[in-house]
Amino acid sequence: MSALLEVSGLRKSYGGKVVLDDVSLTVEPHDVICLIGSSGSGKSTLLRCLNLLEDIDDGVIRFEGEEISDPRIDAREVRKRIGMVFQAYNLFPHLTVLDNCTLAPRQVHGVRRAEAEDRARVLLERFGLADQAAKHPDKLSGGQQQRAALVRALCTHPTLLLLDEITAALDPELVGEVLEIVRSEALAGMTMVLATHEMAFARDVATTVCFLDQGRILEQGPPSQIFTHPREERTRQFLRRVL
């Protein structure tokens, strides 16, 4: 059985500046891959490439056995199976929370409104947002908005969930409530690749931790190895600074 996601030799540059350099990564079903590293190390760009929001310069990305890095691929069809949650929430301000969560199921996946709303309400209830369904995003706290963004991504039943520094814009007291949702999805078997600065969370939840430095995956392994016995001096320097 092939991996869910396979990345090999991925390269991406902007105007001559190399942002990702020969990145290779394998994601099996139910893996939780945590990308760690300094700001500017390439974590967010890697996630955007995986979701086909950025064109790549070289390399191959395979998802469910299909080469999705092929320029002829229909990116919208691929994104039906990949959910992504951004640091800045990206909720539609003119729609209610419920409408934000049901828009993609209805318009992209062809789900009937009643069915889409039932699914969304179950998730909103589970994540403590049932009483916020009729509100617009600007009436919610940052933590509530990020939880709503997670619900929106989960409403499409994604095969793979990408999370890009989803706690970075939150007040410290709101970080825990958002990470608890991610933890619950990991325990339920959701396959995830996430960029995070939350080292304790990565240590507890990840199946594999990847340390990125200057656009390369310098070191990867289980959390016990990366956080306790990192092989690379650059990894040790980074961890000394953030732990």
62-to-70, 71, 207, 217, 221 alpha-carbon distances in Å: 9, 13, 20, 18, 21
CB-CB contact of 164 with 47 (8 Å)? yes
For the record, the structure tokens of 82 come out as: 């990949």
- pLDDT tens digits, 187-216: 999 999 999 999 999 999 999 999 999 999
CB count within 10 Å of CB 189 equals 9
* Residues β-bridged to residue 202: none
- pLDDT tens digits, 86-130: 888 889 999 999 999 999 999 999 999 999 999 999 999 989 999
Give this prediction's pTM. 0.94
- Supply the pLDDT for residue 53: 95
- pLDDT tens digits, 147-163: 999 999 999 999 999 99
- pLDDT tens digits, 34-90: 999 999 999 999 999 999 999 999 999 999 999 999 999 999 999 999 999 988 888
- Supply the pLDDT for residue 1: 57
For the record, the structure tokens of 33 come out as: 């891959």
CB-CB contact of 152 with 89 (8 Å)? no
Share of the chain above pLDDT 90, in %: 88
94-to-125, 129, 151 alpha-carbon distances in Å: 22, 18, 18
Q: What is the mean pLDDT of the chain?
A: 94
- Supply the pLDDT for residue 89: 80
